[in-house]
Chain A
Amino acid sequence: MPILGAVVMLSREPDKAQRVVEALSADPRITLGDLFSGVLPIALEVSNKQDERELWQWILDTPGVSDLGLVFSDFSDVTERKDEVHP
């Protein structure tokens, strides 16, 4: 169950930017933070890595999104190691 923090760079066109905010806020996997001059902080909570990739791409492809940057990743529940494995 990965949890990510990210920043969305929005279009300078206010209408497009507003539509992005509306689209993202409608998705229950996304929590929006306060907008800073065209840069929107978000947290993503997804069920698996496949879901994460698809959601990430969907955000990137949303008209009005100019870039998307990852700033935080928690993977505490996906770290596993089998010790003492030799070639």
Chain B
Amino acid sequence: MNRRDFIKQTALAAATAAAASHASRGEAASVSDAQVQRSGDGVSWDKAPCRFCGTGCHVQVGVREGKVVAIAGDRLAEVNKGLLCVKGYHVGLALYGADRLTTPLLRKGDKQVPISWDEAIGIISDRVQADPAGFAIYGSGQWTIPEGYIAQKFIKGGLANNQIDPNARLCMASAVTGFLATYGVDEPAGCYDDLDACDVLIMWGNNPAEMHPVLFSRVLDRRARGDKITIIDIGTRQTRTTAHADHYLEFRPNSDLAIANGIMALLIANGTWDREFVEKHTSFRADNGELPGKAITFEEFKAAVAPYTPEKVEAISGVPAAKIRMLGELFGSRELKITSLWCMGMNQHTRGTAINSLVHGVHLLSGHFGRPGDAPTSLTGQPSACGTVREVGTLAHALPGGRVVTNEAHRAETETLWNVPAGRMNAKPGYHTVEMWKRFSTPKKDGGDITTIWVQVTNPAQTMPNSHMLVDPSRKDPDKFLIVSDVYPTATTRIADLVLPSAMWVEKNGMFGNSERRTQQWFKMVDPPGQARDDTWQVLAVANELYRRGVAAFKDKDGKALMRVTDDKGVEVPVWQWDKFYTVNVDRYFFEEYRKFTRLKHKDLAPYDEYVKARGLRWPVVQDQSGAWRETRFRFAEFDDPYVEKGKGFDFYHSTTKDGRAQIWARPYEDPPEMPDAEYPMWLCTGRVLEHWHTGTMTRRIPQLARAMPRAYVEMNREDARRLGIQNGETVLVESRRGKIELVAWLDGRGKPPAGSIFVPFFDERLLINELTLHEYDPYSKQPDYKKCAARVSKRGAAK
């Protein structure tokens, strides 16, 4: 058999295994592993979660002669059951773009010139010592769990200035505040299993057919087998998801709040709310300017939602009253199981916390909660937004395991676990993302007290809203210093003072936590190119250099190095020396340290070695009587959550009211901060496309994906185009009050925005749409709104 025949046979065997698994609805497949010939031909295989989105698909990675040469869906993975999306099956190629960063680079004048790692570590240490209070780390939901944990410890246990925040602030912070306001603790109660059990799937401003295609295929797969599932797309533009929907409800931007209120008003008016569930397990809440809000009675809640009649909701949202009634009837039908999904559409919203808590409220009020298939579930865009940001707590106000810096007991526990002197930790939260960058772009004499930002695994020059205001001024200020760790040149590395080449994905050990509380682990499989090194190593090396220089903040209370690593015998290993870094498993060491933080909020994690064996485990992971580690699929429900006492049915054990109850919120509709007007008459919405992941740093270097979607564009409605005299494919000028950009117009393309609105994807670094977006943010989550601002479009050369 020649090599191509062998590969073809392997491909068919993998497909056969996946087909058998799907045909048996995910039960044990009839095809044995022996039939999947995943060995021979010099290719070795190992598991890893996909590098891209928050779905958390597992892939099998084929490595030959030190290179990744093949990718297969992992049929043993519950998330994807062997399937991959177009990005996933190209993920191996993400390692091999021609322009990987391979040596540290220091800006000298207009050029970035190669320097040694020792010099780079020294420069960063100098910046820390020169202004420890003004040194910040800006990280990511793409950090692995150990990477985020180490950066967190560096800033909060070392510098104690709390100046760390992640790009996840831009994508899911409102989901966090929605969960906290409703349940008192973050992250979804349900999981992807709900997709296999629901009768009705409602997408709230969500396009999973393109953004989470493997998850959406689970639903389409059920349909193909004859299951009746009603798919409802509530959106501001038609997408590929709409094509599969039974009902498309097009709403005016921001008016999703009116729709949610309208459903609750109907549940009460029709008497179809779940009185027993509500009376036993919920309380009512209203805004008072603080996240926990104030208590209100049912009668007050009823009065707050009563004005949202179907007709009033139609007037606000544009969704026909009959469709609002349909939603009310669906939620009023107890025999149905309803799953709601959302992602950026609800989170990147100046009322993000409000709409998140309203959708939870719709489910709680109707009792569509806590049965498989009955769940309000937020999705994430990054592979470890949950694991690294929300659980490790790499946010300016947070500490690991759901703790917060403002809580004295939480600080004391953290000081004990990190063995730092009592009282070292700072009770004042650091700056959230927009504020951090605003202060970095403000001269020090004018209050710009952030002087150095170390960016890891993200690309803020492309993703920050209103970047002319939040990013550009810092680059003209000699007092400000930007350090960027990344794998490829990006819009951010190009403006950086110091660039550090990083290892990516299977070039290092790692752990991610996906959207359904699933913690995943993988091992390093290939070496990074040139001098690229792990982000973990980079932070440890700086911490050690500061310790070596005698900086007290990097000593523990016994005078030892704050970030020391020991082997199994307790002997310190000099992991800051690159050639010693992989002589111990640094991920395992820090994960075991971090794991001790996870029990307070019942987010218990298993030992590292359990994740080595599994395709991820969903927390809380607890030991059963036999000593085996058991994951939890459905939180707060007695039938599955080990922390709910028998006989209680449900227990929201981190309730903000400390009585085991979840909160149903009254949150009125309000107009957004910027709306179309005579000068800027159109809504501008931004987002992603199937082929590219976020800023395209990886996917634009995969030729197949780059060719399939080569450049950004502006989606327009044909009516608007006709009125403005614009042809399909014509270059047009798009302007907002903050910037302007030329883009090719696409009419009747993949997405179809309604008249009066346009859509622009943000993946293309040559066409930075975030120069136009609005930096206004939700008052609780501090998450900016990328989904709506006022803009105008004109033919090139015809601008006002």
Which residues of A sit under 8 angstroms from B18, Cβ to Cβ? 5, 7, 41, 69, 71
Which residues of B sit under 8 angstroms from A76, Cβ to Cβ? 7, 64, 69-70
Residue with the greatest number of chain B CB neighbours at <10 A, chosen from A12, A69, A84: A69
Task: Decide: A75 and B93 in contact? CB cutoff 8 A.
Answer: yes
Known: A70-B83, A86-B103. A33 touches B221 (CB 8 A): no
Q: How far is the CB of A76 from chain B (nearest CB, A)?
A: 4
Closest residue of A by beta carbon distance from B31: A36
Known: A12-B224, A75-B93, A79-B68. A87 touches B493 (CB 8 A): yes
Task: Decide: A71 and B14 in contact? CB cutoff 8 A.
Answer: yes
Say whether A20 faces chain B, with CB atoms less than 8 Å apart: no
Which one of B19-27, B277-285, B591-599 is at the A interface?
A: B19-27
Known: A9-B224, A69-B83, A69-B217. A4 touches B64 (CB 8 A): no
Task: Decide: B105 and A86 in contact? CB cutoff 8 A.
Answer: yes
Which residues of A sit under 8 angstroms from B82, Cβ to Cβ? 7, 69, 71
Task: Decide: A43 and B11 in contact? CB cutoff 8 A.
Answer: yes
Say whether B729 faces chain A, with CB atoms less than 8 Å apart: no
Q: How far is the CB of A44 from chain B (nearest CB, A)?
A: 8
Task: Decide: A66 and B220 in contact? CB cutoff 8 A.
Answer: yes
Per-position 1/0 for A52-87, Cβ under 8 A of B: 110000000000001101111111101111111111
Contact of A67 among B23, B101, B217 (CB under 8 A): B217
List residues of A (28-59) whose CB comes within 8 Å of B's CBs: 31, 33-45, 49, 52-53
Closest residue of A by beta carbon distance from B99: A85
Task: Decide: A31 and B16 in contact? CB cutoff 8 A.
Answer: no
Say whether B236 faces chain A, with CB atoms less than 8 Å apart: no
Closest residue of A by beta carbon distance from B25: A37
Known: A71-B75, A81-B100. A33 touches B15 (CB 8 A): yes
Q: How far is the CB of A59 from chain B (nearest CB, A)?
A: 13
Which one of B133-141, B307-315, B703-711 is at the A interface?
A: B703-711
Task: Decide: B221 and A85 in contact? CB cutoff 8 A.
Answer: no
Please, how many angstroms separate the alpha-carbon atoms of A36 and B20 in the complex?
6
Say whether B530 faces chain A, with CB atoms less than 8 Å apart: yes
Say whether B96 faces chain A, with CB atoms less than 8 Å apart: yes
Say whether B226 faces chain A, with CB atoms less than 8 Å apart: yes
Task: Decide: A75 and B69 in contact? CB cutoff 8 A.
Answer: yes
Contact of A72 among B10, B24, B93, B102 (CB under 8 A): B10
Task: Decide: B71 and A73 in contact? CB cutoff 8 A.
Answer: yes
Which residues of A sit under 8 angstroms from B489, Cβ to Cβ? 87
Contact of B72 among A49, A72, A81, A82 (CB under 8 A): A72
Task: Decide: A7 and B15 in contact? CB cutoff 8 A.
Answer: yes
Known: A72-B70, A76-B64. A87 touches B112 (CB 8 A): yes
Which residues of A sit under 8 angstroms from B75, Cβ to Cβ? 71
Per-position 1/0 for B186-224, Cβ under 8 A of A: 000000000000000000000000000000010011011
Task: Decide: B19 and A41 in contact? CB cutoff 8 A.
Answer: yes
Q: Which residues of B contact A (CB under 8 A)?
A: 4, 7-16, 18-20, 22-24, 30, 62, 64, 67-73, 75, 82-86, 88-90, 92-93, 96-103, 105, 112, 114, 217, 220-221, 223-226, 489, 493-494, 529-530, 703-704, 707-708
16 contacts between A and B (CB under 8 A): A3-B4, A7-B83, A11-B224, A39-B20, A42-B12, A53-B708, A69-B82, A71-B72, A72-B73, A74-B10, A76-B70, A81-B100, A82-B99, A83-B102, A83-B530, A87-B493
